[in-house]
Amino acid sequence: MFQLKYHHHTFQKPEDFIQTQSGYPDFLKEALAFCLAWKNGETQFHQQTSGSTGVPKSILLDRSQMKASALATQGFFKIGKDTKLLCCLNPAYIAGKMMLVRAMVWDAPIQIVAASSDPLSELNLDELPDFVAMVPFQVENSLEKPDSLEKLQKIKHVIIGGAPLSQKLKSKIVKHGIAAWQTFGMTETVSHVALARITDEPELIYSTLPGVEIGTDSNDALWIKSPMSGPPKIQTNDQIELLSPNQFIWKGRLDFVINSGGVKIHPEQVENKIEDSVQAIFPDTRFLVSSKKDESLGQKVVLLLEREGIEADKVENLKKQLELVLSRFERPKEIICLPKFPETANGKLARKSLPE
């Protein structure tokens, strides 16, 4: 039976969701307002996109799309009514809202906690959910804390979205036996349309949810047709390798592709290859592969480090390490420090906002 739980408060009937306490945190107020609108039969909901691939915009989502998404996820995991859920993402964004929708559509209980770096720390072992959606940062932090790691290992289904997983994090997830899936989707598709089980394989293989059709255009860019995205076919800028009618490998975004001397390079793939090398020399440093204009090549590959500065000997050491894992065309021609990477409103790296 659907119930929204927050600490010692339980919300179930429509009148429970009418806010009567001014002391509630903002994320709970957002959740209560959305659940009330849903229970009152609202059919359309305005939602802000994250801005990770362009200018943030407000789009209109239909109730039928959101319901279709929840039912498709339920079908994929074969989830029953007894499933317990946890919402530890901000319900102002689509990922948090969809956790609430799943609970209401599945008629299942859900707890809500603040979207903190270690959300499982607020739960007792007897309160653990069966299903939770998290972002990589939350999973990373939970793995580092023994109590939270134990809890994470007991959860049946952990879906991870918001950003691609690093190779280091994938390895930790596999090592600790976490039943986790990387999501693929966007606000326009109302949460995810495909999921990839996280294994020790070098590349993730995504499988579509029930009812989702996929294909590619002449640039091998993914298109999607699904009940959750509505009647029109959605053409994305995501370049994929189509393995079957319902499986694919994600290569990267076409709008991030670097054309260096006629060779097309996906920065996301290069980042996966060099992660261990960068972290070995510059531990806990965020990095991005990007490009600069170049007279002879058109664009040249550069490596950006989120640091105030670096020592020359470490730069030379890193260059030598990168030569071992990258092809000639992929190797950065410069290593540049930026004090702070640009981010979107919900904390994603905003590649398009990088300075020239």
CATH number of 3-254: 3.40.50.12780
What pLDDT does 52 receive?
Answer: 44
DSSP state of 209: P
Burial class from Cβ neighbours inside 10 Å (0-12, 13-18, 19+) for residue 8 reads exposed
Q: Let me know: does 300 contact 292? Beta carbons within 8 Å.
A: yes
CA separation for the pair 165, 185 (Å, rounded)? 14
What pLDDT does 355 receive?
Answer: 62
User: How many Cβ atoms sit within 10 Å of the Cβ of residue 355?
Assistant: 8
Taking residues 308-319, what's their average pLDDT?
89
Strand partners, 195: 183, 207
What pLDDT does 53 receive?
Answer: 44
What pLDDT does 356 receive?
Answer: 59
Strand partners, 288: 304
For 37-70, write each residue's pLDDT tens digit: 999 999 999 887 655 444 556 788 899 999 999 9
Taking residues 163-192, what's their average pLDDT?
91
Taking residues 256-283, what's their average pLDDT?
90
More confident residue, 342 or 157: 157
CATH number of 257-353: 3.30.300.30
More confident residue, 93 or 194: 194
For the chain, the structural domain boundaries read 3-254, 257-353
H helix intervals, 119-266: 136-144, 146-154, 167-175
% of the chain with per-residue pLDDT over 70:
95
Domain 257-353 in the same topology as domain 3-254: no
Taking residues 278-299, what's their average pLDDT?
90
